[in-house]
């Protein structure tokens, strides 16, 4: 991404992640929740993306670290590793991408616990800043965000498991004030996830089905501070709830239907338009509210996020995002998927269909997904994802090893 401009702000960069086009009254009502390190909120793998960003209660796979790490305790294979690649905002630029590596390994004789880890790297491409005439004094930047996490999951009963993940986050947007001589510094943060997964096998008619419930509260942690601590931002703490029902259509043919609900557990940033800025008292009230928001701890922000929307309870409901998806599988070797993701237009306006397919062999599985945005002029349209997965049990069989 080669862009030349005089001034760069954090909000300008983050606008690439949650873009929206609104006019008139809609523009006045537009009030998305503002967070730092928004790349943590991008689905890394093709399977979850093709279902409309779903994964809280779907069958365990190698990429469960992002969706619900407690599912690893119920994974069928003893271990696996996956690599995912997503060209991001490809309708606008050609060098922004998300790369992700995930893996897990089952522990113990009874396969009732697992260790997991993932590494994600989000590159905002190459940015050329210009100051003065003819970009004199400009600089070429390569802003990026990354995170590394490790997790542990364990079955607490035959039907229920829980998991926890610890994450290190680093964000280097690379921007500094060339006039003032400030040096660019990255921002670090730490967070944790906690999750649960329940699955059962009810008999309906003569068929054994599978019904699962899952939940995951992710990115509970410190705030991230840009610009030498002058611009603190909340991490995208998120609560995900989901359910999946799988039933056989015929021998070797299965269909799974899934629903996920999401809510960012982040307090709403005060808006100047909600105060009477024409009076000194109104200006002081706004500045006081803004200072309180900036100094608010992330834990306090989680509880405030349920009741602080300017529009009251009706606006709180608009902050809930939902996804619905379906996955067809033949003999666990061929997969077709489709789903839909909806976010209210006042809270970000991400609305899109996801479609995808996958093919699995004993050792390797390849998945691909494609995004079709339904929101007008959305740059998220036509987003592709690719995931390559390797199964450790399959590799052990090839090389003659036993389980």
Tens-digit pLDDT profile for residues 25-81: 566 678 888 888 989 989 999 999 999 999 999 999 999 999 999 999 999 899 999
- pLDDT over threshold 80, residue 128: no
Map tokens 């338009």 to a residue.
273
Question: Confidence class of residue 12 from pLDDT cuts 50, 70 and 90?
Answer: very low
Residue 303 phi, psi dihedral angles, 5° rounding: -70, -35
Nearest CA to 350 among 11, 5, 38? Answer: 38
The whole domain housing 250 covers: 10-268+305-398
Q: Is residue 164 part of a domain?
A: yes
Question: Confidence class of residue 228 from pLDDT cuts 50, 70 and 90?
Answer: low
DSSP for residue 308 = -
Total structural domains in the chain? 1
Question: Is the CB of residue 389 less than 8 Å from the CB of residue 367?
Answer: yes
CATH classification at residue 17: 2.40.160.40
Q: How many residues does the chain have?
A: 403
Q: Is residue 324 part of a domain?
A: yes
Distance CA 252, CA 330 (A): 5
| More reliable by pLDDT, 2 or 113 | 113
- pLDDT over threshold 80, residue 401: no
Q: Is residue 173 part of a domain?
A: yes
**DSSP reduced 3-state for 168:** strand
Q: Is residue 391 part of a domain?
A: yes
Q: Return the percentage of the chain with pLDDT > 70, whole number.
A: 83
Q: Is residue 376 part of a domain?
A: yes
Instruction: State the DSSP H helix or E strand holding residue 162, giving kind and residue range, or none if neither.
Output: strand 160-172
89-98, 291-300, 372-381, 391-400 — most confident range: 291-300
Distance CA 393, CA 78 (A): 6
Q: Is residue 283 part of a domain?
A: no
**DSSP reduced 3-state for 401:** coil
Residues 139-181: pLDDT tens digits?
677 889 999 999 999 999 999 999 999 999 999 876 554 444 4
Distance CA 8, CA 137 (A): 14
Nearest CA to 398 among 345, 349, 362? Answer: 362
- For 219, what's the count of Cα atoms within 13 Å in the CB-facing half-sphere? 27
Residues 311-356: pLDDT tens digits?
888 888 999 999 999 999 999 999 999 999 999 988 888 999 999 9
Question: Is the CB of residue 148 less than 8 Å from the CB of residue 122?
Answer: no
Largest CA distance in the chain: 79
Burial 135-151 (b: 16+ CB within 10 A, else e): eeebeebebbbbbebeb
**What mean pLDDT value characterizes the chain?**
85
- pLDDT over threshold 90, residue 233: no
Q: Is residue 354 part of a domain?
A: yes
Q: Is residue 288 part of a domain?
A: no
In sequence order, the 6+-apart residues with CB closer than 8 A to the CB of 375 are: 20, 345, 349, 350, 351, 352
Burial 190-228 (b: 16+ CB within 10 A, else e): ebebebbbbbeeeeeeeeebbbbbbbbbbbbbebbbbbe
- For 277, what's the count of Cα atoms within 13 Å in the CB-facing half-sphere? 7
Distance CA 70, CA 62 (A): 12
């Amino acid at each position: 991404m080669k862009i030349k401009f005089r001034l760069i702000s954090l909000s300008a960069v983050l606008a690439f992640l949650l873009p929206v086009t609104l006019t008139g009254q809609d523009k006045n009502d537009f009030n998305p929740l503002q967070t730092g390190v928004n790349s943590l909120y991008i689905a890394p793998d093709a399977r979850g993306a093709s279902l409309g960003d779903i994964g809280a209660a779907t069958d365990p796979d190698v990429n469960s670290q992002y969706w619900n790490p407690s599912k690893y305790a119920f994974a069928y294979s003893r271990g696996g590793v996956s690599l995912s690649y997503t060209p991001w905002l490809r309708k606008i630029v050609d060098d922004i991408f998300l790369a992700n590596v995930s893996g897990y390994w089952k522990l113990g004789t009874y396969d009732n616990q697992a260790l997991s880890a993932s590494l994600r790297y989000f590159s905002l491409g190459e940015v050329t800043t210009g100051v003065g005439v003819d970009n004199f004094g400009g600089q070429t930047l390569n802003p990026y965000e990354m995170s590394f996490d490790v997790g542990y999951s364990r079955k607490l009963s035959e039907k229920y498991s829980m998991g926890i993940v610890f994450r290190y986050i680093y964000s280097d947007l690379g921007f500094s004030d060339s006039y003032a001589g400030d040096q660019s510094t990255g921002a670090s943060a730490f967070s944790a996830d906690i999750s649960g997964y329940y699955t059962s096998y009810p008999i309906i008619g003569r068929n054994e089905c599978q019904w699962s419930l899952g939940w995951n509260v992710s990115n509970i942690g410190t705030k991230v501070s840009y610009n030498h601590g002058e611009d603190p931002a909340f991490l995208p703490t998120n609560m995900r709830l989901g359910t999946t029902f799988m039933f056989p259509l015929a021998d070797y043919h299965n269909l799974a239907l899934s629903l996920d609900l999401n809510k960012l557990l982040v307090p709403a940033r005060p808006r100047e338009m909600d105060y009477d800025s024409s009076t000194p008292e109104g200006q002081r009230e706004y500045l006081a509210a803004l200072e309180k928001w900036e100094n608010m701890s992330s834990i306090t922000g989680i509880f405030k996020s349920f009741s602080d929307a300017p529009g009251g309870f009706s606006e709180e409901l608009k902050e809930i995002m939902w996804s619905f998806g379906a996955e067809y599988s033949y003999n666990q070797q061929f997969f077709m998927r489709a789903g839909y993701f909806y976010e209210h237009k006042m809270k970000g306006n991400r609305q899109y269909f996801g479609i995808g397919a996958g093919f699995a062999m004993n050792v390797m599985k390849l998945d691909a997904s494609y995004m079709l945005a339904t929101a007008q002029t959305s740059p998220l349209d036509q987003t592709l994802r690719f995931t390559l997965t390797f199964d450790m049990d399959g590799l052990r069989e090839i090389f003659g090893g036993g389980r």
